Amino acid sequence: MKIRIDFVTNSSSSSFLLAKKGSGEISKEGRDKLVDLLLQNFLKLNIIDDVSSENIAEHEYFEYRDQVSIKAGQKALQEGFQIGEGHVSYEESEWKLTELLDETLKILDSEENYSVVDGDVRY
């Protein structure tokens, strides 16, 4: 259990200690795990598959977007990209970020050049 002995504000922050050896190089396997973690958590998108660049402004995902976003969406579709919609729920963001940090520290701790000294980010 961590005990804070300094001034504590009413913020929702957390801290951790991580030791790094040398350049801190991460193995290919470690990098792949970190990329997978980010892709699973930030790029799980609801793909728009029922829209063309001509009618993109009428799609519900673009309903409240500005013209710059609409033009960028049109250009992306014309270049063969798919468009996905994602969101961040502020009610769940603290929990989600804590989970992501916890998983990131576990991955780094399994690496030769890193050691988690204090990874308790849930206080």
pLDDT for residue 5: 55
Alpha carbon distance 46, 86 (integer Å): 7
Given a cut of 60, is residue 94 above it in pLDDT? yes
CA-to-CA distance for 74 and 81, rounded, in angstroms? 10
Closest CA to 63 of 44, 85, 78: 85
pLDDT of residue 26: 95
Q: What is the pLDDT of residues 20-78, one digit of tens each?
A: 999 999 999 999 999 998 888 777 777 877 778 888 888 888 888 999 999 999 999 89
Domain positions in the chain are 19-116
Q: Would the pTM of this model clear 0.75, i.e. be above it?
A: no
